[in-house]
Structure 1
Amino acid sequence: MATDWLADDQLNEDQDAIRDAVSDLAQKYGNDYWNEVGREGRYPDEWVKELSDAGWLTMLIPEEYGGGGASINESCVVLETLNRWGNNANAIHAQMYQMGAVLRHGSDEQKQKWLPQIADGLRLQSFGVTEPDAGTDTTRIRTFAERQGDHYVVNGGKIFTSRFQRTDLMLLLVRTTRYEDVAKKTDGISVLLVDTREARENGQIDARPIPILGGHHTNQLTFTNLKVPVENLIGEEGEGFKVILSGMNSERISAASEYIGSGLYFIDRAVQYSKEREVFGRLIGSNQGIQFPIAQAYTQLKAASVMRWQAAKLFAEGSRDGFYANTCKLLSADAQWAAGNAAMDTFGGMGLTEEFGIARKFQGARGALIAPISRNLILAGIAQRDLGMPRSY
């Protein structure tokens, strides 16, 4: 690679070994493989199976439940490394951290029942949160779960629910008290663990794939009298907003690691190409118009990584403060976008071809600015919570 591994000075011996093992796996799935997956619009099943068989997707589950017992730092190394080699960690990241809802908020019975199954390969790949009319204003979701005896009966719908066709379990955010009937808008929201296998067989969930760039495999879901056992309620009824908030920090730290990896993928290739491509009798890498954007993006990635490790440290210590997690997501997404643009300018027209793998990753780099949380929403939160400025929305 053209540049040193960004995390070298942060990793211990075990994390170095993880990075090297994941690198070996990732290099087996090169640009041709991912181009083929993209052209066919299919899920990278072979790649996912190899990651799963190696235990990388269940590494955050404690050993007592059959998992790897790793910390979020180790999962960051895995996600960064996969994207550093041009893989698409977005296809599997949910399996790594979504079980945290059960681990942090589930009852002892739920942990004993579900975590060993997830560690053994049961897929928890989807989280139904966003709705067409609510968008990022999650408190305004309308999907409603009415308790009827020992079941909830759910009706409503979600949009942008990814990987539904590749999941056995799904976390589902619902209202158990309607928005109009709560004193505080974050009240009355609950989280259910849904067995999608049964629901699909019973016709209680209809999934319509949404064509989207970047290999996200996302869907619009409709729930019709979906029955979910009350015993599958995660946390307290009506307190689900706290459940999802605690998981969002891990999501954003994980996403930041992917963006840092992809940003370095762009840097690596741009630097190498600039040393090989000659125009007007000189290597293009000798031109400051090529050098400066690459160097600038690299410094941004360095800064984002420092914030990422700080966020991971605080999360591992039990902090639920969202500032560092949100900020590392913001900085890493911006840095990845800067790196992508620098690479595209370096490659010129060649950057638009499949051959060099720039255009493929460029699509995902743009999407990172708006999801899983938009940069504007992060900035609004910082302005209001951390700087004490008036609320904008």
Structure 2
Amino acid sequence: MFQNDESIEAIREGVRGLCANYGADYWRQLDEEKGFPEAFVNEMTQAGWLAAMIPEEYGGSGLGLTEASVILEEVNRCGGNSGTIHGQMYNMFTLLRHGSDEQKQYYLPKLASGELRLQSMGVTEPTTGTDTTKIKTTAVRKGDKYVINGQKVWISRIQHSDLMILLARTTPIQEVTKKSLGMSIFLVDLHKAIGNGLTVQPISNMVNHETNELFFDNLEIPADSIIGEEGMGFRYILDGLNAERTLIAAECIGDGRWFIEKATKYAREREVFGRPIGKNQGIQFPIAQSHIDVEAADLMRWKACWQYDNGQNAGANANMAKYLAAEASWKAANACLQTHGGFGFANEYDVERKFRETRLYQVAPISTNLILSYVAEHLLELPRSF
């Protein structure tokens, strides 16, 4: 479970080798321009890293969530932003686990080769947030088509994706016996949809995550765009969300290690009052505590990955891994910024950029408060708080 084997180390070395071609200047420039790392994404695709979880029969590597988590961890540990590629990995779970044979045979080889990108998932809505069962976007079957109407928000990488996983209600909530029923998952061809019933409006934000609001106005998609059984979409999407939370935990662990390495290096070299600042316990202790927190979160990440890869329900541990890792990376970010003092705010040190990037994971995907509510209700059997 501790994953110190040769195959994991080979993945780490391979990803680090590729990331060496995309140093701090590259990511800093993209952040300033609000740009998308097209060259980085293309090279990660061509190297096969984004197809890690696609079965070999479809052109992928057939690896598990464990290996995928290491890939994303290393990107962040090298100073990059794996938020630009993680969607391709966890969005694929829904198609991989619940798609028809025809869908998998058609799409997975194209995703593995890079001919197609599946970077986007449309779930969140302006009035529902994480209260997914109350989504208002509808998909109504009309002959050999579904007609989509509604709105989504905080949907990333639309402009750099060919396909999108979409959750919509196919049966009104008043007509289902359980509120989690009556929702369905669709695979939307964005090139056909945009301008033909789908409008995309970018949202400017504090981190360089290309994020959008979507408006559906009688968008027609083929009936065979549905993934799995109609009405079971909420259950299907949970598979992807649990994988997503585990992968995000790995990204936070990568961030945490970047901050700790950055802080310790600076603390050794920076001299004030004739001595390295790293001699001061006021500097040492926050960095040391951050290291302990990151290592503890890492153990929960491995546990969630192991459960997922062995077909067990990883929901609880995926949530707890994400919580611990997001908390650890944020504490490490603060320790790193404090260690650098005023220089931590200078763009050239990259601390402020990574500080903003890792802060996101306190809020999304799924806020830390909702994870606490989940643990209280489902693991500790306390009364539901909302």
Deviation of residue 358 (structure 1)? 0.4
Unaligned ranges ≥5, structure 1: 1-6
2:134 is aligned with 1:140: yes
Partner of 1:261: 254
Deviation of residue 182 (structure 1)? 2.2
Deviation of residue 11 (structure 1)? 2.6
Q: Per-residue CA shift, 1:13-51, capped at 9, x if unaligned?
A: 122111111101112211111111011111011111111
Equivalent of residue 279 in structure 1, options 266, 272, 293: 272
Partner of 1:341: 334
Question: Secondary structure in 1 aligned to 2:362?
Answer: coil
Q: Which amino acid aligns with 1:233?
A: I
CA distance in 2, matches of 1:180, 1:281: 72
Q: Which amino acid aligns with 1:55?
A: G
Q: Per-residue CA shift, 1:68-98, capped at 9, x if unaligned?
A: 1111111111111110010000000111221
Partner of 2:159: 165
Does the CA-based 8 Å contact 2:19-2:75 persist in structure 1? yes
Paired residues for 1:168-207 under 5 Å: 168-200=162-194, 202-207=195-200
Question: Secondary structure in 1 aligned to 2:124?
Answer: coil
Equivalent of residue 282 in structure 2, options 255, 267, 289: 289
2:34 is aligned with 1:34: no
CA distance in 2, matches of 1:228, 1:59: 29
CA distance in 2, matches of 1:138, 1:145: 15
2:124 is aligned with 1:130: yes
Q: Per-residue CA shift, 1:206-240, capped at 9, x if unaligned?
A: 10000112211000000111111111111111110
Does the CA-based 8 Å contact 1:246-1:320 persist in structure 2? no
Q: Which runs of 4+ in 1 moved over 6 A?
A: none
Partner of 1:59: 52
Q: Per-residue CA shift, 1:141-167, capped at 9, x if unaligned?
A: 100001001110001110000000011
Does the CA-based 8 Å contact 1:310-1:324 persist in structure 2? yes
Equivalent of residue 241 in structure 1, options 213, 234, 240: 234
Partner of 2:382: 389
Q: Which amino acid aligns with 1:22?
A: V
Partner of 1:3: none
Partner of 1:214: 207
Deviation of residue 312 (structure 1)? 0.1
Question: Secondary structure in 1 aligned to 2:269?
Answer: coil
TM-score normalized by the length of structure 1: 0.96
CA distance in 2, matches of 1:140, 1:72: 30
Deviation of residue 109 (structure 1)? 1.7
Partner of 1:313: 306
Does the CA-based 8 Å contact 1:142-1:178 persist in structure 2? no
Question: Secondary structure in 1 aligned to 2:329?
Answer: helix
Q: Which amino acid aligns with 2:117?
A: R
Q: Per-residue CA shift, 1:98-118, capped at 9, x if unaligned?
A: 111111111212211221121
2:66 is aligned with 1:73: yes
Deviation of residue 365 (structure 1)? 1.8
Question: Secondary structure in 2 aligned to 1:10?
Answer: coil
Aligned length, in residue pairs: 385
Does the CA-based 8 Å contact 2:255-2:354 persist in structure 1? yes
Does the CA-based 8 Å contact 2:304-2:314 persist in structure 1? no
Q: Per-residue CA shift, 1:319-377, capped at 9, x if unaligned?
A: 12411000000000000001000001100000000111100000012111010000111
CA distance in 2, matches of 1:99, 1:367: 22
CA distance in 2, matches of 1:321, 1:268: 30
Partner of 1:356: 349
Partner of 1:379: 372
Does the CA-based 8 Å contact 2:45-2:113 persist in structure 1? no
CA distance in 1, matches of 2:333, 2:53: 30
CA distance in 2, matches of 1:179, 1:37: 43
Q: Per-residue CA shift, 1:247-274, capped at 9, x if unaligned?
A: 1111011101100001100000100000
Partner of 2:87: 94
Does the CA-based 8 Å contact 2:136-2:168 persist in structure 1? yes
For the aligned residues, what is the CA RMSD? 1.1
CA distance in 2, matches of 1:218, 1:275: 39
Does the CA-based 8 Å contact 2:46-2:113 persist in structure 1? no
Percent of aligned positions with the same letter in both sequences? 50
Partner of 1:19: 12
Q: Which amino acid aligns with 1:187?
A: L
Q: Which amino acid aligns with 2:97?
A: R
Question: Secondary structure in 1 aligned to 2:245?
Answer: helix
TM-score normalized by the length of structure 2: 0.98
Partner of 1:49: 42
